[in-house]
């Protein structure tokens, strides 16, 4: 074969939620270049894999409804497909069409056809079609459209071999493609199409539009008759290739679930109960039990073994200290929270994949409208429970009017890195109501974020900009696919483990060193370098009820990375594996009130370095990122002050 050495570049395009990423993942496997964090693809992920004799490079594009982009992610997808630089273009496009949503999927296909690149249509989720009692004739569809169509199921990994086989062996087979068939025979002189010039000038309008960004078509009416015409033709075609076999049953189930979850009165209570359940299971019951086992294993099994080994091999005292009080206390102190994080991430994936997230957007839109946001903005906020960085990236899916406003909220949403702080403090001070205390903090983060965005709204948008739009597709409920959830869970946990093994490890060693030595490098109990540093900042935190240099240092370390707060406390209070020792140490220093204040402050006080970088990148402004940091510190201090002193006035201190 001639393409033996050549890498074939394939673009996966298609409507949002048509299963491109699922196809991408099942093709590339656990390929290294896959950087897809959440179900929402906002970046062009690419992955290489070899298939038979070929090397294939697959690009997973963000979902598109048409080639008229409205958000940054859609612009990047369009630019990938319509690139003036021919060498950058993909060799072929696989358009993933949800077979259950044929008309809208083919609407995009009708535009992709006109790009003129070899196009293959993957009719995805054909297994659901059977359940619905619909029959789809792929051969007839191929003939009518003039491009090859294949039935596949990305989740069940059916039909993918045939699709690839055809794509690889026939991509330069000119006979297969008849890009003009769609427009030929249907041409309508009255909307400007003709036999010799069947393609409208949309390509040029787009090239122009892409550069201008969001509100491209505002000034240019892009001939609405054309969209109408496309849908008309597609309606004809769909009518010819589908047949109903029997009545459907699946949608009935979806409707019954929605009758409860989107019920006028029950919707909000259901949402609260679901979220409370997630928090209760993750932090209250199962997660806590697992965490207990791990920390006991660490304290009673691992640490004594290491200690006796070090003593046996006559390791110098400083090395013993470094390993046990520095490395194991710091890294171990954070790793014991892995089970709780795993539960939280698992439930988040479940909510994302089942389709409930879209229902949440539907029921919260009206509430968010008051803050100048739409229901869609709720999705990045919930993703923020995992990590602020991918949540900020998910803001690319929002239109310009609400993007910055949502980006202000996201860092206030409590991420996974802050979780160990609550897990530890809530267990030590609020043993009976752990789930509730943690839930209150998560809620507080969102409320403060929303109030911030409301206060800052006048500075974010121009007056002439109208209200935000909210146009969203509502997917049917689907059973989450286990291997997709597992893959995503692993990706998210890997981030946590990697940071524990790198930055936390380093920070623990540095903190251990700085807290045990003074400026003349002598081992000291009092007057260490860290103590001096902590004492500089401690007075600022004194009015909040935690003026000890240790907690000040821990919070400073949290600036690098939120997990660092607890790992520093473990190192500073000489905790040797397991939260038992640290909890006791904290109980002698904090009161329940100052502990809660500490959690409030730690929740709000500043985004971590990675989040600040993401804010700067996504907003395209250093000032915006810096402003967010300052704003959060000020807000955190004021609120913590209110909580602490208000609590004392009420006699809670």
Partner 1 sequence: MKLHQLHPGQSGEVLAIDLPPATKQQILDMGVTPGVQVRLKQKAPLGDPLWIEIRGYDLILRKSIAAQIAVKV
List interacting residues with partner 1 (CB under 8 A).
65-66, 68, 70, 100-104, 107, 215-222, 224, 227-228, 231-232, 258, 262-265, 267-268, 361-363, 365-367, 369, 374-375, 467, 469-476
Q: Which is nearer to partner 1, 148 or 397 (CB)?
A: 397
Helix locations, 313-433, DSSP H: 317-321, 333-335, 338-354, 356-369, 378-383, 388-394, 400-409, 419-429
SS3 130: helix
Q: Which is nearer to partner 1, 9 or 203 (CB)?
A: 203
Q: Which is nearer to partner 1, 477 or 512 (CB)?
A: 477
Query: Whole-angstrom Cα distance, residue 47 to residue 23?
Result: 12
Give me the least distance between CB of 122 and partner 1, in Å please. 18
Q: Which is nearer to partner 1, 102 or 484 (CB)?
A: 102
| Secondary structure (DSSP) of 313-347 | TT--HHHHHIIIIIIIIIIIHHHTTHHHHHHHHHH
Q: Which is nearer to partner 1, 194 or 232 (CB)?
A: 232
Exposure letters 391-430 (e unless 16+ CB within 10 A, then b): bbbbbbbbbebbbbbbbbbbbbbbbbbbbbbbbbbbbbbb
* Closest to 124 in 3D by CA, of 15, 242, 217: 15
Give me the least distance between CB of 374 and partner 1, in Å please. 8
Give me the least distance between CB of 473 and partner 1, in Å please. 6
Give me the least distance between CB of 180 and partner 1, in Å please. 22
Query: Whole-angstrom Cα distance, residue 312 to residue 536?
Result: 41
Give me the least distance between CB of 108 and partner 1, in Å please. 8
**Cβ neighbours, 10 Å, residue 335:** 22
Give me the least distance between CB of 227 and partner 1, in Å please. 4
Give me the least distance between CB of 65 and partner 1, in Å please. 5
Give me the least distance between CB of 175 and partner 1, in Å please. 32
Give me the least distance between CB of 200 and partner 1, in Å please. 13
* Closest to 470 in 3D by CA, of 388, 600, 592, 379: 379
Q: Which is nearer to partner 1, 289 or 366 (CB)?
A: 366
Task: Strand 7-14: give its sheet, edge to edge.
Answer: 45-51, 54-60, 7-14, 92-98, 119-124, 149-151
Q: Which is nearer to partner 1, 25 or 66 (CB)?
A: 66
Q: Which is nearer to partner 1, 256 or 483 (CB)?
A: 256
- Phi, psi (5° rounding) for residue 85? -85, 105
**Cβ neighbours, 10 Å, residue 219:** 7
Q: Which is nearer to partner 1, 101 or 142 (CB)?
A: 101
Q: Residue 153 pairs with which residues in a beta bridge?
A: 158
């Amino acid at each position: 074969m001639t393409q033996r050495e050549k890498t074939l570049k394939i673009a996966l395009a298609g409507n949002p939620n048509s299963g491109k990423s699922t196809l991408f993942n099942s093709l590339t496997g656990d390929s290294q270049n896959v950087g897809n964090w959440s179900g929402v693809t906002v970046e062009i992920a690419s992955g290489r894999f070899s298939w038979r004799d070929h090397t294939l490079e697959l690009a997973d594009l963000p979902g598109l409804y048409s080639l008229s982009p409205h958000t940054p992610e859609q612009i990047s997808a369009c630019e990938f497909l319509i690139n003036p630089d021919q060498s950058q273009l993909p060799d072929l496009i696989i358009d993933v069409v949800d077979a259950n949503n044929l008309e809208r999927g083919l609407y995009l296909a009708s535009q992709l056809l006109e790009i003129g690149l070899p196009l293959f249509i993957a009719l995805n989720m054909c297994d659901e079609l059977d359940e619905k009692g619909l029959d789809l004739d792929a051969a007839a569809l191929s003939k009518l459209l003039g491009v090859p169509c294949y039935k596949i199921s990305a989740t069940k990994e059916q039909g993918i071999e045939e699709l690839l086989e055809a794509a690889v062996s026939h991509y330069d087979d000119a006979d297969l493609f008849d890009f003009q068939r769609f427009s030929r025979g249907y041409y309508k002189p009255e909307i400007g199409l003709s036999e010799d010039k069947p393609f409208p000038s949309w390509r040029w309008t787009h090239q122009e539009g892409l550069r201008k960004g969001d509100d491209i078509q505002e000034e240019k009416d892009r001939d609405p008759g054309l969209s109408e015409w496309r849908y008309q033709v597609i309606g004809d075609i769909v009518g010819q290739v589908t047949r109903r076999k029997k009545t459907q049953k699946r949608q009935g189930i979806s409707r019954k679930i929605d009758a409860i979850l989107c019920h006028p009165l029950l919707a909000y209570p259901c949402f609260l109960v679901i979220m409370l359940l997630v928090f209760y299971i993750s932090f209250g019951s199962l997660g806590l039990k697992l965490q207990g086992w791990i920390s006991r294993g660490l304290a009673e099994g691992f640490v004594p073994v290491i200690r006796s080994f070090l003593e046996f091999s006559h390791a110098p005292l400083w090395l013993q200290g470094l390993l046990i009080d520095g490395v194991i206390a710091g890294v171990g102190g954070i790793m014991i929270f892995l089970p709780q994080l795993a539960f939280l991430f698992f439930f988040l994936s479940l909510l994302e994949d089942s389709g409930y997230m879209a229902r949440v957007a539907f029921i919260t839109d009206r509430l968010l409208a008051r803050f100048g946001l739409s229901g869609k903005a709720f999705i990045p906020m919930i993703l923020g429970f995992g990590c602020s960085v991918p949540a900020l990236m998910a803001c690319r899916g929002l239109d310009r009017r609400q993007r910055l406003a949502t980006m202000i909220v996201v860092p206030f949403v409590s991420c996974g890195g802050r979780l160990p702080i609550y897990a530890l403090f809530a267990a030590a001070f609020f043993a009976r109501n752990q789930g509730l205390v943690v839930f209150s903090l998560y809620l507080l983060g969102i409320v403060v974020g929303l109030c911030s965005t409301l206060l800052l709204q006048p500075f974010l948008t121009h007056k002439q900009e109208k209200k935000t739009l909210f146009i969203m597709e509502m997917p049917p409920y689907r059973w989450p696919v286990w291997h997709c959830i597992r893959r995503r869970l692993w990706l998210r946990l890997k981030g946590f483990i990697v940071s524990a093994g790198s930055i936390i490890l380093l920070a623990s060693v540095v903190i251990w060193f700085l807290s045990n030595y003074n400026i003349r490098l002598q081992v000291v109990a009092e007057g260490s370098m860290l103590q001096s540093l902590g004492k500089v900042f401690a007075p600022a935190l004194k009015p909040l009820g935690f003026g000890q240099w240790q907690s000040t240092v821990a919070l400073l370390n949290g600036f690098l990375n939120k997990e660092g707060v607890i790992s520093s406390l473990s190192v500073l209070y000489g905790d040797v594996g397991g939260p038992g020792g640290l909890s006791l140490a904290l109980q002698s220093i904090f009161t329940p009130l100052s502990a809660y204040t500490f959690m409030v402050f730690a929740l709000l006080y500043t985004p971590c370095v990675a989040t600040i970088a993401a804010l700067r990148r996504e907003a395209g402004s250093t000032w915006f990122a810096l402003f967010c940091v300052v704003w959060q510190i000020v807000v955190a201090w004021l609120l913590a002050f209110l909580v602490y002193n208000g609590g004392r006035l009420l006699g809670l201190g």
